[in-house]
């Protein structure tokens, strides 16, 4: 297992998790990577770790360049276990090393691991540490997406080691975006942002603003592929600016499930209204599409319609799961509508309506129908949906 040089004397020492199929409740069909980086300078520095079960592979990559006994610093940008899971192994191999992290990082490490005997140097946002020819500058990015999160900037190499920011769950033959299909990498970056960072748009905006004064020509994230060159860096930074802003492209997204086709009929009618109005619309049935594949649609959507059949006087389970997942991600600035069908007890759509209200969305009253909707019901629904369109 050999390290890969990404800049002169700076190496990728991470691992690829080809078999990862799920992370934090969302599908990762392309796997992932847990990236760490080794900086060879007067003070040899290792930045971030890996999941515990892939530790041996990461250790081998580091050893292909230098022995752990010669490492001076270990930077912990983020304590979540996909980045710090093998920290006990690293510190056992390099007990002489000093951990560079912020106060929240030290606290989180001590809450996850036995840190007795570990040496810490606490850094604050804007602090710099000289490692010889290079200077490491730290910018804290709290709640993007843990309290301890920060990034490390290597001024002399115009390199940003961004941990969870700008990453993707994507394992590929190459570790560089330039060697891959850009649209695929951006799709995975969008999915990552939507399913992990969506609730933290304000923090993402602050983080991007905080990096505005830095001259960056390479972004090496904690997951996925490395953005190299001004054009690639500009591409992903602009995407983050857009996603974090809460702006949208005016499209509509319809999410529903169905038991005997009644709710599907209503969903088709809702879709027709948006299509007739010239509004781009996607329709996602939860029977066939995983919740995590739908959430990226919410980044671009202005209009949201969620439909459910009634089962045992409750929201259909897959719809309930989606609504719970979506609520936790806290999309903003939507116009929404709840619809559904029932057999003998109406009213479950009000549970969806309540979530809309908790999120602060603009809404129109819910619509539901008993059993199979006839043509006159479909027409009434269409007229109702038109009232939500600007």
Per-residue pLDDT tens for 232-286?
999 999 999 999 888 888 999 999 999 999 999 999 999 999 999 999 999 999 9
Chosen domain end from 218, 245, 272: 245
pLDDT of residue 64: 98
Asked if 57 and 167 sit in the same domain, the reply is: yes
Asked if 99 and 183 sit in the same domain, the reply is: yes
Exposure on the CB side of residue 155, measured as CA atoms within 13 A: 15
Asked if 268 and 216 sit in the same domain, the reply is: no
Sign of CA dihedral 372, 376, 380, 385: positive
Asked if 215 and 256 sit in the same domain, the reply is: no
Kindly list the catalytic residues: 24, 78, 80, 82, 145, 164, 192, 223
SS3 134: coil
Asked if 352 and 260 sit in the same domain, the reply is: yes
Asked if 264 and 236 sit in the same domain, the reply is: no
CATH of residue 367's domain is 3.40.50.360
Chosen domain end from 215, 245, 275: 245
Domain that holds residue 345: 251-386
Report the b/e string of 288-322 with b at 16+ CB within 10 A. Answer: ebbbbbbbbbbbbbbbbbbbbbbbeeebbebbbeb
Count of the separate structural domains present in the chain: 2
Please tell me the pTM assigned to this model: 0.93
Chosen domain end from 190, 219, 245: 245
Least confident of 49-58, 195-204, 259-268, 281-290: 195-204
Asked if 210 and 83 sit in the same domain, the reply is: yes
Asked if 79 and 163 sit in the same domain, the reply is: yes
User: pLDDT grade, residue 144 (50/70/90)?
Assistant: confident
Average pLDDT over residues 282-299: 97
Asked if 329 and 373 sit in the same domain, the reply is: yes
């Amino acid at each position: 297992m050999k390290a890969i040089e990404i800049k002169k004397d700076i190496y990728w020492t991470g691992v690829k998790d080809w078999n990862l199929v799920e992370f934090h409740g969302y599908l990762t069909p392309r796997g992932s990577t847990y990236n760490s980086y080794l900086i060879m300078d007067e003070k040899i520095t290792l930045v971030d770790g890996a999941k515990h079960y892939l530790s041996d592979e990461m250790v081998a990559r580091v050893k292909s360049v230098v022995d752990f006994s010669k490492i001076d610093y270990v930077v912990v940008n983020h304590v979540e276990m996909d980045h710090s899971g093998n920290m006990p192994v690293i510190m056992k191999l390099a007990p002489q090393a000093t951990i560079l992290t912020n106060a929240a990082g030290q606290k989180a490490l001590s809450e996850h691991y036995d840190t007795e005997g570990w040496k810490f140097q606490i850094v604050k946002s804007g602090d710099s540490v000289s490692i010889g020819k290079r200077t490491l500058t730290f910018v804290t990015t709290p709640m993007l997406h843990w309290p301890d999160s920060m990034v490390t900037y290597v001024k002399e190499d115009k390199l940003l080691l961004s941990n969870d920011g700008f990453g993707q769950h994507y394992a590929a033959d190459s570790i560089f975006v330039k060697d891959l299909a850009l649209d695929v990498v951006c799709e995975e970056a969008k999915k990552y942002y939507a399913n992990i960072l969506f609730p933290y748009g304000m923090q993402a905006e602050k983080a991007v603003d905080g990096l505005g004064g830095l001259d960056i020509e390479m972004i090496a994230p904690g997951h996925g592929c490395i953005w190299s060159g001004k054009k690639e860096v500009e591409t992903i930074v602009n995407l983050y600016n857009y996603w974090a802003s809460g702006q949208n492209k005016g499209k509509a997204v319809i999410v529903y499930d169905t038991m005997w086709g009644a709710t599907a009929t209503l969903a088709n009618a809702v879709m027709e209204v948006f299509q007739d109005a010239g509004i781009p619309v996607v329709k996602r049935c939860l029977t066939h599409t995983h919740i995590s594949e739908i959430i990226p649609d919410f980044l671009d959507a202005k209009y949201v319609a969620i439909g459910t059949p009634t089962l045992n006087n409750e929201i259909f389970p897959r719809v309930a799961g989606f609504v719970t997942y979506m609520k936790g991600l806290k999309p903003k600035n939507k116009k929404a509508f709840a619809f559904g069908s029932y057999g003998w007890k109406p009213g479950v759509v009000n549970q969806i309506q309540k979530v809309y209200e908790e999120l602060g969305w603009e809404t129109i009253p819910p619509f539901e129908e008993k059993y199979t909707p006839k043509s006159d019901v479909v027409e009434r629904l269409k007229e109702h949906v038109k009232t939500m369109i600007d």
